[in-house]
Chain A
């Protein structure tokens, strides 16, 4: 026993945490697989988004300088497509994670998980990863034909290691954001509006609807959100196969996008700072709110 406790305090804690997250992920995947109609609708939603953005790019053109000149031809459409692909990967993981605790509570399953030593962060991460695995597979399946049509596949293959690195870091960031917003549902059961505000803000910052570099002055600060900078770098990689300098004279004031190297440095910096900050915020909020919810007797009561 003494030996066992020694292990618990040290080396075994991390593997057991990861093992639990992975088992939760598998459990959710198995469960989601039973609701195939929902999966179909999700794919349809992505396809409809792509179709609508194709129309948008036909009728609207961004200001000169909002996008790197090298993106042409068809730069705006490609720009929108990468954003759509990204959000097809992350919208459901975010929403599912935020809804996870109220749902498990309503089904009466949260109590059993908790007493089986599966903690709230594990439950939330298991939910996020399951949804992410499903979403990225479906989104990639739907979007890949369009990447072929737009002649982007060669670039994607060339830049694949970088793409995976940036995607991984943004995935971590999105997981932390999801956990953070989900933590509010420990104390407030109806967090739908709040989560909508969050995801809408993030979508705007990532240029889901318009390029951030089309903005002026201090609003450009939006670009330092990890998913905003990360996704703009992703666009470079998808569309050109390599990073390029962003912005015009009016945006150079920010200093980081004069050269491609500056730009990449800025992106990496925002990734690292953003992810670390969010990990701390999310885990802290969960810890405090779990304690509060257990005190109020509302952790498994709906």
Chain B
């Protein structure tokens, strides 16, 4: 569908979104969840939105999907203003989210037929999709018996009905089993030239496979950074990391004794290194350590963007940060 009228697929300018947070009925207090956000997405960009919980990722998507209206600023999709021409925007944009549900007493077949006919589209591609993802045996079951994974497939089948050229995908892949997830990622990747993806996902693989740009949100609602994955990786002040799974929880001193910057990531610990020599040195020390179950070393990946920027934002200066200082890397 050649909507080439406008340079940008999505353009967000000075967007502000406030929600009531406390206060009384007469004197409501408002909190800005998104505060002066500006960015744009061109054709060929596929954007992963990352940010701490509550940083407004879902809110941003809901504004793009027309569920919320901006308090200030403009949002255009293919040049159509989201507040005045929502109908046209929604003709080409699908929002896939676990927050969007179906009537549980209807069958999958009825559901797909309903959305296809309402859009004036052929339902066959959706049935084919359902079949391809191994849910065809559920066609005549009511949606109330569906597993979360099957619902996720259903959501994609419905979202694809209108042949969207923009898909907003909010943490939908989490409930899929490994095989289906792999299959879905391959399916979506193969359509990258036709569909612009905007995704929120905590899974690094998904982000890696579906996006080439990263939009980082700062808590309090503005853009921390928008850039190519490669570019953002370069802004991280180290080149390698050694990821360690310890046998049991060790105190700070234990890790400090390695004399290498480190950080806690869940139950793992990561040493971060500037040179291959540092990696080898840590590797040699770890190999002989009986308190280590396993370790692996790698160059930087999207995972590091999460760890570096998000942990940085959430826990800056907290105990978990070990000895590392990120200050010079801030934008």
Contact = CB atoms under 8 A, between A and B. Distances in A.
Bind each other = yes
Given A34-B105, A294-B69, A297-B68, A8 B88 contact: yes
A1 B90 contact: no
A111 B97 contact: yes
A16 B115 CA distance: 13
Interface stretch (A22-30, A53-61, A231-239, A260-268): A22-30
B307 interface: no
Interface in A1-47: 1, 5, 8, 16, 19-20, 23-24, 26-27, 30-31, 34-35
Contacts of A5: 88
B90 A115 contact: yes
Contacts of A116: 90, 115, 118-119, 158, 162
A30 B20 contact: no
A236 B19 CA distance: 55
Contact of B119 (A109, A117, A295): A117
Nearest to A292: B69
B60 to A, nearest CB: 13
B106 A112 contact: no
Interface residues of A, number: 32
A177 B110 CA distance: 30
Interface string A197-219: 00000000000000000000000
A189 interface: no
B329 interface: no
B103 interface: yes
A109 B91 CA distance: 19
Contacts of A114: 65-67
A145 interface: no
Interface string B26-68: 0000000000000000000000000000000001000001111
B327 to A, nearest CB: 36
A219 B57 CA distance: 57
Give 8 closest A-B pairs by Cβ, nearest first.
Answer: A108-B101, A112-B100, A294-B69, A117-B90, A34-B105, A23-B118, A115-B95, A111-B100
Contacts of A297: 17, 19-20, 59, 68
Nearest to A296: B20
B149 to A, nearest CB: 18
Interface of B: 1-3, 17, 19-20, 59, 65-69, 71, 87-88, 90-91, 93-95, 97, 99-106, 110, 114-115, 117-120, 158, 162
B90 A23 contact: no
Given A1-B3, A115-B95, A299 B67 contact: yes
A283 B280 CA distance: 71
Interface in A246-294: 291, 294
A118 B118 contact: yes
Contact of A291 (B69, B71, B119): B69
A30 B69 contact: no
Contacts of A118: 118
A300 interface: yes
Interface of A: 1, 5, 8, 16, 19-20, 23-24, 26-27, 30-31, 34-35, 107-109, 111-112, 114-119, 291, 294-297, 299-300
A300 B110 contact: no
B16 to A, nearest CB: 11
A107 B105 CA distance: 11
Contacts of A26: 114
Nearest to A12: B120
Nearest to B117: A23
Contacts of B110: 27, 30
Nearest to B91: A117
A300 B105 CA distance: 20
A107 B115 contact: no
A27 B110 CA distance: 8
A299 B88 CA distance: 20
A24 B118 contact: yes
B69 A27 contact: no
23 contacts: A5-B88, A8-B91, A23-B117, A26-B114, A27-B103, A27-B106, A31-B105, A108-B100, A109-B102, A111-B95, A111-B99, A112-B102, A114-B65, A115-B65, A115-B67, A119-B87, A294-B66, A294-B69, A295-B69, A295-B71, A297-B17, A297-B68, A299-B67
Contacts of A35: 105
